[in-house]
Amino acid sequence: MSDNKTNIFASEHTESPVQTIRQTMSVSLNDDDQPVISFATNRGKGSGAQVLPVGEYREYIEVLEGYVKDGIPESGPEDNYSAAETVQRTIHSEDGVISFRVRSGKGAKPAKLPTDSFSEVVELLRGTVDAVEAAAVSLTTPAEQ
């Protein structure tokens, strides 16, 4: 009998969006030496990291908090806007999943969250704003000798 196995559930990702964010969130400098926050909300085909300038992160969270409070509107047109503006223009809810982007254009992947996880995810992200901004400062400020 062969030891070769095929895992039937190999492509299944059972992590919650909060678990995925906790495992993937980081602050780094992009190619232009600007601090960016990066995190994934889900894994698998068609998913990718949400990457946005740290300077836009606080407003991005505030926009998401507004959707937690007031609900998701009908979808609108996409264009080249800030992370918060892009969320406002792309957020929609369908079949129990809330989807939105932080940027538009080629390669931009949406964050996809189960509706029942949305509030918890936004609460987690809100709790990281000060740490994200502090990390960006530490990346861009020369170390004291």
Mean pLDDT of the chain: 83
pLDDT tens digits, 59-99 = 999 999 999 998 887 655 555 588 898 888 889 999 999 99
Question: Which residue segment(s) compose the domain that 68 sits in?
Answer: 17-137
Confidence of residue 8 (pLDDT cuts 50, 70, 90): very low
CA 95 vs CA 36, 113, 115, 116, 117: distances in Å: 31, 11, 9, 12, 14
Q: Specify whether the CB–CB gap between 106 and 90 falls below 8 A.
A: no
| Residue 23 located in a structural domain | yes
In the chain, the percentage of residues whose pLDDT exceeds 90 is 50
| Residue 113 located in a structural domain | yes
pLDDT for 122 beyond 80: yes
Confidence of residue 26 (pLDDT cuts 50, 70, 90): very high
Token pair for 71: 């609900």
| Residue 11 located in a structural domain | no
Q: How many domains does the chain contain in total?
A: 1
| Residue 85 located in a structural domain | yes
| Residue 143 located in a structural domain | no
pLDDT tens digits, 28-63 = 999 999 999 999 888 877 778 889 999 999 999 999
